[in-house]
Amino acid sequence: MADVQETQLKNQEATFAFGKKERKLLSDPLNDNNPVTVQVLGICSALAVTTLVYPSLVMAVAVVFVCAFANLAISLMRNIIPGQVRLIVQLVVIATLVTVVELALKALSYDVYKQLSVFIGLIITNCIIMGRLEAFAMANKPWQSFLDGIGNGLGYGLILIAVAFFREIFGKGTLFAGSPAELKIIGNTSEYLLNTEATWWLGWYANNGLMVLPAAAMFLIGIFIWIQRSYNTKLVDIS
Amino acid sequence: MGSAFNVFLEAAFIENLVLAYFLGMCSYLAVSKSVKTAIGLGAAVIFVLGITMPINWLLNKFLLEPGTNIFGGMLGQEMDLTFLRFILFIAIIASMVQLVEMIIEKYSPSLYISLGIFLPLITVNCAILGGSLFMVSRDYNLVESVAFGLGGGFGWFLAIVAIAAIREKMLYSDVPPALRGLGMAFILTGLMGIAFMSLMGIDPAALANGGK
């Protein structure tokens, strides 16, 4: 009897522990096991929104939210979901959370909602979320699954914002356009921080139209993968 | 009829789902290592897109949209159920994929063996759900939505077969080790996207009127 109580107590302690293993759950997806550049998941719903930083930020927050809570919900239900219908159960949980995000965004920031259009709905088919549910939440405890969801959402958001940063600053010369804290960095009027007309050594500069095109996002991610694998040679593709 | 053909051309070439909207990217990158498997997956995507689009169109019109849904007539007042759209669409797609899988398994085991492993993957292919969501946001009618489904699927098929063929050839090229495989696939997709952009200036409606 005492034994049972002791193990129960231990289990309870472990439920909300935040040790080395938990920290790894959060930090691994940022680099070594990044969902975009290493696992190649979730590229679909995201790249079209990365022309500007602000919508990408909103998208990243939405994905962190959906990923964390879908992981939590599925992990809580993992022992009662029948094997054959688990994909449909997972999809319904994700679709419900995405509907919550969509309605919240519509109410809070209608402009961003219009900009993201169908891509908010496409979080449902974001393979990161399905992938983590299958690979992690179905086999792990709720708290760990929750952290794993946050970690993977952040790893995805990191790439999203990095791509958007380069695309916006070189494509439009601004940062956070459309948000309350818009910064005008480089351009040919006095509104911009670096005025190319007035600075003698910047007269040649013009915004790069290629950066606004979808193709630029592909090139940037390709280059990110190149840089990451040059440092982290264990990720290199052998085939 | 003419407008449906325009929608088909536009979806297949000008607004290619993969190269202009990045939809279905995950399976596009994962399953493009050989041309043969790419053809199998591409055919399955055409099939599922062609089936789910009209079904989702009908359900969206008669179950969800305010003014046309059957609940309005039953209850005597308008009901807006469009907030259920995501759940309904994804459930239809998941069950359609399951159904298609069972039908193919029963009637054509050889096709089932060649497509088998790709069919479940299609549920989470963003191109399918994306197609249905575009159909709603662009207000297509029933015939146009079938054309959009088939055209979008055909465009996706073209893109995945093209990249698979290029990647097969890339095996013989001297690519920097860190860029090999995935990195190169991204850059190639970017280049293909730029190539497809040259089709953007074409207006199918003007072509149908003899170039006016």
Read off the pLDDT of residues B34-78 as tens digits, 9 standing for 90 and up.
888 888 888 888 888 898 999 999 988 888 887 777 777 777 777
- What is the Cα–Cα distance from A140 to A74, expressed in whole angstroms? 10
**According to the model, what pLDDT value does residue A65 have?**
92
Residue A52 has pLDDT above 70, yes or no: yes
A134–B contact, CB cutoff 8 A: no
Cβ contact, residue pair B178, A230, below 8 Å? yes
Among A50, A85, A118, which would you mutate to test the B interface (most chain B Cβ atoms within 10 Å of its Cβ)? A118
* B212 confidence band (pLDDT: 50, 70, 90): very low
pLDDT tens-place string over residues B155-206: 999 999 999 999 888 888 888 877 887 888 888 888 888 888 777 766 666 6
- Return the number of other C-beta atoms located less than 10 Å from residue A67's C-beta: 33
pLDDT tens-place string over residues A130-157: 888 888 888 888 888 998 899 988 888 8
- What is the Cα–Cα distance from B75 to B187, expressed in whole angstroms? 55
Chain centroid to CA B165? 20
**According to the model, what pLDDT value does residue B110 have?**
77
* B1 confidence band (pLDDT: 50, 70, 90): low
Residue A205 has pLDDT above 80, yes or no: no
Contact A141, A75 (CB under 8 A): yes
* Interfacial B residues in 27-46 facing A (CB < 8 Å): 29-30, 33
Closest-CA distance, B107 to chain A, in angstroms, reads 22
* Interfacial A residues in 196-225 facing B (CB < 8 Å): 213-219, 221-223, 225
User: Which tops the pLDDT comparison, A33 or B97?
Assistant: B97
Q: What is the mean pLDDT of chain B?
A: 81
Residue A11 has pLDDT above 60, yes or no: no
CA pseudo-torsion sign B108, B120, B141, A213: negative
- What is the Cα–Cα distance from B12 to B19, expressed in whole angstroms? 10
Q: What is the mean pLDDT of chain A?
A: 80
Q: Is the ipTM of this complex over 0.85?
A: no
pLDDT tens-place string over residues A81-128: 887 777 788 888 988 999 999 899 889 888 888 888 778 888 887 778
pLDDT tens-place string over residues B4-38: 888 888 888 888 888 887 788 878 887 787 888 88
Contacts of A24 (CB under 8 A, 6+ apart): none
For residue A38, which phi and psi values (nearest 5 degrees)?
A: -110, -50
Q: What is the mean pLDDT of the segment spanning A197-215? A: 76
* Interfacial B residues in 91-110 facing A (CB < 8 Å): 91, 94-95
Residue A49 has pLDDT above 60, yes or no: yes
Residue B150 has pLDDT above 90, yes or no: yes
Q: What is the mean pLDDT of the segment spanning A23-34? A: 77
Q: What is the mean pLDDT of the segment spanning A60-70? A: 91
**According to the model, what pLDDT value does residue A195 have?**
74
B81–A contact, CB cutoff 8 A: no
What is the residue-wise DSSP string for chain B? -HHHHHHHHIIIIIT-HHHHH-TTHHHHHHT-SSHHHHHHHHHHHHHHHHHHHHHHHHHIIIIISTTTSHHHHHHSS----GGGHHHHHHHHHHHHHHHHHHHHHHH-HHHHHHHTTHHHHHTT-HHHHHHHHHHHHTT--HHHHHHHHHHHHHHHHHHHHHHHHHHHHHTTS---GGGTTHHHHHHHHHHHHHHHHTTTT--HHHHHTT--
**According to the model, what pLDDT value does residue A9 have?**
47
Contacts of B147 (CB under 8 A, 6+ apart): B4, B5, B7, B8, B11
Cβ contact, residue pair B30, A40, below 8 Å? yes
**According to the model, what pLDDT value does residue A66 have?**
92
* B148 confidence band (pLDDT: 50, 70, 90): very high
